[in-house]
Amino acid sequence: AEDGYRLWLRYDKVENAQQLAAYKQSVTQVLFSGNSPTISAARKELFQGLSGLLQLQPTETKTVSQNGALLIGTIATTPILSELNLKSSLEKIGTEGFFIKSVKINQKNATIITANTDTGVLYGVFHFLKLIQTGQSLSNLSIENSPKLTHRILNHWDNLDRTVERGYAGFSLWEWHKLPDYLDPRYTDYARANASVGINGTVLTNVNANALILTPAFLEKVKALAGIFRPYGIKVYLTTRFSAPVEIGGLKTADPLDAEVQMWWKKKAEEIYTYIPDFGGFLVKANSEGQPGPQNYGRNHADGANMLADAVASKGGIVMWRAFVYDDKVPDDRAKQAYNEFTPLNGKFRKNVFVQVKNGAIDFQPREPFHPLFGAMPQTPLMMEFQLTQEYLGFATHLAYLAPLFKECLDSDTYAKGKGATVAKVIDGSLHKYSMSGMAGVANIGNDRNWTGHPFGQANWYSYGRLAWNPALSAEEIAEEWIQMTFTNDSKALNSIKEIIMGSREAVVNYMTPLGLAHLMGYSHHYGPGPWVSNKKRDDWTATYYHKADSAGIGFNRTSTGSKALSQYFPPVKAQLENLQTCPEKYLLWFHHLPWTHRMKSEKTLWEDLVGHYYLGVEQVRNMQKTWDSLKGSIDEYRFAQVKSLLSIQEKEAVLWRNSCVLYFQQFSKMPIPAGYEKPA
Ligand code: GCU
């Protein structure tokens, strides 16, 4: 059965006979040059792809002797290429880009896939296969492609006991107890999938870190994984527990300004590099949700980050220091805390430090306005942190394509340097001339057969990688290629799946948190609805903190008459959002507390409009079900049935969400459910 294990690298035979014949003419002989592990990986991938897609084992030759030759290798290892005058193209594509071009060699039609590095060649091979997978022509090619960001990294929140924080697709892929001796072939498939979308780094461990990962017994295991990932251009990173010098080092303090502590980290880094010479560096969650950090010693985030940065700098390592900080003891709007703590540190970090910022100021909600830190730290490279695991969007049970969420943030204009200073330009480094640029995706991967639990979760992994490579791609074009590679090239089925995918995130917003509401999920697990008071210990962990519903109205007032969080944005953004006429309604209750009778653009009252969104969300899920049902027979049965059942759970739970929220808020609005809607129960 098609169980989804092959992800978007299925390489099933091209169905259209005419197309198949044309492809075969374009690949009659292969000249592969170079013999590094990366080139071997590229070669293996190419042959696996061609034997599946074209049912072909092309002959390998040393010279071009017939039409349809395919030349693959770096410019340095492929002498014929030096005759083709590719210098200016190769300069443009940098160290990871590639170049695919139709050329004439010895009067024969040939295609070259080349790059400055072996990794570039590997990326080029994946791209070439994708052309076939997505039914594109192989004639007259002239493709120059290179990543816009330097660091494209998955963050696994995987614990050493193989449980996964906020993981909904089984246990961790890393079989710590069998490593380093048993190397599951799945590790290679994981690396292939990542390389196919250009992901070039992986943080193996949870941000809520365990210091033991830095001990020799575990470093041996990390080394084994790094060895598998290396040929695929993927570096390994680890999370560090800030108190490690005390916990595993026997020191009395972890104060970052203490010379002994600094020395301990230097030695520890040196030790790590003896195992993994190309170790990427550290990801750190400090002074956040109970994790230890420099503030325990009266120091600031820069002191902590710089100490670690100094320890890895000489080996080319980096530190990704997270800005996800908030504290219920700070008597201020949680949404303001990261900005307040980090902007004073702008420019105080070492060159090899990223500050890693979640897309929004609260926490991976179905919809959040962009984080005000983007654009506000011109001298410190900011790294985007997106979450692929759907912690607040129905886990691996609900279908929610996240690329539209990612794009909404990336395309937002910060106005940090006047109009056009989008979040994408902040993080790709072009706005403030950052020396490095990056995007992190909190992985949704586990050891389920299909990797992500929900078959459509794969699209979130895929689209994250594509956007980290090029934030300018559209959610729709990414969806299209993913569907073609993962499900079908049949245009009718493709369009139906695309319709489902493209509307899915908005459906979730509608039945969970419409109009800028947030964090209405049940306490701690974050799955089903819980708009009521559920945690008496901490205000900021209870939904009422976020929606502030009362008899006067609903919403969090973050304007100048409220928490003033809006003043953290640049003036044009602040002005737009502060003004009820110009604040987009999708963000309305994020920034404003409004009476239930407030008139919306629809002419309806806020109450009616809110209820309308909850009902619409359910309707949208029902439409997704109908569209999915229409696909019976045009996709494989296994995945058809699996998605069908998941959608029926989603429908049931969307109703539960709608009814819980509408009935809960009705206690305050004391207004009726508008006529024509089924009765919530
Ligand atoms: C969320 C999530 C935690 C996680 C945290 C983080 O709050 O619920 O499980 O540890 O984010 O990003 O650090």
- Strand segments, DSSP code E, in 208-285 are 235-239, 281-284
Which of 145, 164, 197 is the C-terminal boundary of a domain? Answer: 145
Ligand 1 pocket, residues with Cβ under 6 angstroms: 165-166, 207-208, 285, 289, 324, 363, 391
Residue 326: pLDDT band by 50, 70, 90 thresholds?
Answer: very high
pLDDT tens digits for 466-493?
Answer: 999 999 999 999 999 999 999 999 999 9
- Given pLDDT bands bounded at 50, 70 and 90, which one contains residue 89? confident
As a whole number, mean pLDDT of residues 365-380 equals: 98
**What is the chain's mean pLDDT, rounded?**
97
Average pLDDT of span 605-629: 98
Rounded average pLDDT over 441-458:
98
Residue with the two structure tokens 């209870």: 542
CATH of residue 31's domain is: 3.30.379.10
> Which atom of ligand 1 is found nearest the CA of 291?
13
Taking only the tens place, the pLDDT of each residue in 424-437 is: 999 999 999 998 99
Q: Are 198 and 468 in contact (CB under 8 A)?
A: yes
User: Where residue 629 falls among pLDDT bands split at 50, 70, 90?
Assistant: very high
Nearest to 240 by CA among 207, 287, 201: 207
| Cβ-proximal residues to 168 (8 Å cutoff; 6+ apart), any chain | 389, 390, 395, 396, 397, 444, 446, 453
Bridge partners (DSSP) of residue 320 are 283, 354
Closest by Cα among 136, 135, 147, 312 to 214: 312
Q: Read off the pLDDT of each residue in 550-567 and give the average, rounded to a whole number.
A: 98
* φ, ψ dihedrals at 465, nearest 5°: -60, -45
Give the orientation angle of helix 186-196 with respect to helix 37-53, to 10 degrees.
90
Q: Does residue 237 sit in the same domain as residue 108?
A: no
Question: Which residue segment(s) compose the domain that 610 sits in?
Answer: 509-556+593-669
Q: Which of 391, 480, 481, 578 is flagged as catalytic?
A: 391
Closest CA to 405 of 472, 502, 517, 505: 505
Residue 564 belongs to some domain of the structure:
no
Same domain (yes/no): 21, 84? yes
Which of 165, 368, 390, 521 has the most ligand 1 atoms within 8 A of CB, as the residue to mutate?
165
Answer yes or no: do 259 and 182 share one domain: yes
Model pLDDT for residues 385-428, shown as the tens digit of each residue? 999 999 999 999 999 999 999 999 999 999 999 999 999 999 99
Which CATH number belongs to the domain containing residue 352 in this structure? 3.20.20.80
Same domain for 534 and 479, yes or no, is: no
Same domain, 411 and 366: yes
Same domain, yes or no: 644 and 617: yes
Could you give the CA distance from residue 120 to residue 98 in angstroms, rounded to a whole number?
5
Q: How far is the CA of 612 from the centre of ligand 1 (A)?
A: 31
| List 45, 96, 118, 363, catalytic entry | 363
Q: Which has the closest alpha carbon to 478: 531, 405, 577?
A: 405
How far is the centre of ligand 1, averaged over its atoms, from the C-alpha of 480 (Å)? Answer: 31
Please tell me the distance from the alpha carbon of residue 463 to that of residue 478, in angstroms, as a whole number: 6
The Cα–Cα gap between 383 and 185 comes to 31
Closest listed residue to residue 109, CA positions, set 129, 139, 75, 136: 139
Are 67 and 189 found together in one domain?
Answer: no
Mean pLDDT of 649-656: 98
C-alpha of residue 516 to centroid of ligand 1, in Å: 21
414 and 365 housed in the same domain: yes
pLDDT at position 160, please?
Answer: 98
Neighbours of 401 (CB within 10 A): 25
Active site residue 91: no
Helix, strand, coil abundance in the chain, percent, nearest 5:
40, 15, 45
Ligand 1 pocket test target in 156, 207, 284 with most atoms within 8 Å of CB: 207
Q: Which atom of ligand 1 is nearest to the CA of 358?
A: 12
Instruction: Pick the residue whose CA is nearest to atom 10 on ligand 1.
Output: 208
Share of the chain above pLDDT 90, in %: 95
Q: Is the whole model's pTM more than 0.80, yes or no?
A: yes
Q: How far is CA 608 from the centre of its chain?
A: 35
217 CA → ligand 1 middle, Å? 27
61 is a domain residue? yes
Q: What are 60's strand-pairing partners? A: 30
Q: What is the CATH number of the domain that holds 532?
A: 3.90.1330.10
Same domain, 336 and 292: yes
For residue 202, give the nearest of 125, 283, 96, 121 by alpha carbon. Answer: 283
- Whether 94 is in a domain gets the answer yes
Stretch 312-318: mean pLDDT: 98
User: How does strand 142-145 pair with strand 98-105?
Assistant: antiparallel
Q: Candidates 205, 206, 334, 363: which one to mutate for ligand 1, based on the most atoms within 8 Å of Cβ?
A: 363
**Antiparallel, parallel or unpaired: β 59-60 and 235-239:** unpaired
Q: Give residue 113 CA to ligand 1 midpoint distance, Å.
A: 42
Q: Specify if 215 maps to a domain.
A: yes
425-434: Cβ within 8 A, 24+ apart:
426/374, 426/375, 426/382, 427/149, 427/374, 427/382, 427/383, 427/384, 427/471, 428/148, 428/149, 428/471, 429/149, 429/150, 429/381, 431/375, 431/378, 432/378, 432/379, 434/381, 434/382
| Bridge partners (DSSP) listed for residue 521 | 529
Q: Does 118 participate in catalysis according to the annotation?
A: no
pLDDT at 362: 98
Ligand 1 centre distance from Cα of residue 378 (Å) = 26
Tell whether 402 is covered by a domain: yes
Q: Are 553 and 598 in contact (CB under 8 A)?
A: yes
Residue 102 and residue 240 in one domain: no
CA 43/CA 231 separation, integer angstroms: 12
User: In which element (H, E) is residue 637 found?
Assistant: helix 637-669
> Tokens 């499900």 correspond to what residue?
487
The neighbouring-strand residues paired with 196 are: none
Residue 24 lies in a domain: yes
Binned at pLDDT 50, 70 and 90, residue 172 comes out as: very high
Residue-wise burial string across 53-86, b where 16 or more C-beta atoms lie within 10 A, e elsewhere: bbebebeeeeebeeebbbbbbbbebbebbeebeb
**Is pLDDT above 90 for 681?**
no
Q: For residue 583, is it within any domain?
A: no
124 close to 96: Cβ distance less than 8 angstroms: no
Ligand 1 atom closest to the CA of 391, numbered from 1: 8
Query: Is residue 498 included in any domain, yes or no?
Result: no
334 and 401, same domain (yes or no): yes
Mutation choice for ligand 1 from 391, 395, 521, 525, CB with most ligand atoms inside 8 A = 391
Q: Residue 69 carries which DSSP code?
A: E
Ligand 1: distance of its center to the CA of 207 in Å? 8
pLDDT surpassing 80 at residue 536: no
Look at residue 663 and give its three-state secondary structure.
helix
**Residues 3-28: what's their mean pLDDT?**
97
Give residue-wise pLDDT tens across range 563-613: 999 999 999 999 999 999 999 999 999 999 999 999 999 999 999 999 999
In the chain, the number of structural domains is 3
Last-in-domain residue among 145, 176, 201: 145
- 533, 621: one domain: yes
pLDDT, one tens digit per residue, over 333-359 is: 999 999 999 999 999 999 999 999 999
Q: What angle do CA 376, 378, 384 make, to 5 degrees?
A: 70
Prediction ipTM score: 0.99
SS3 386: strand
In this prediction, residue 80 carries a pLDDT of 87
Q: Which of 99, 130, 145 is the last residue of a domain?
A: 145
**In Å, what is the CA distance from 286 to each residue of 289, 291, 363, 374, 662?**
8, 5, 16, 20, 38
Among this protein's residues, is 289 annotated catalytic?
Answer: yes
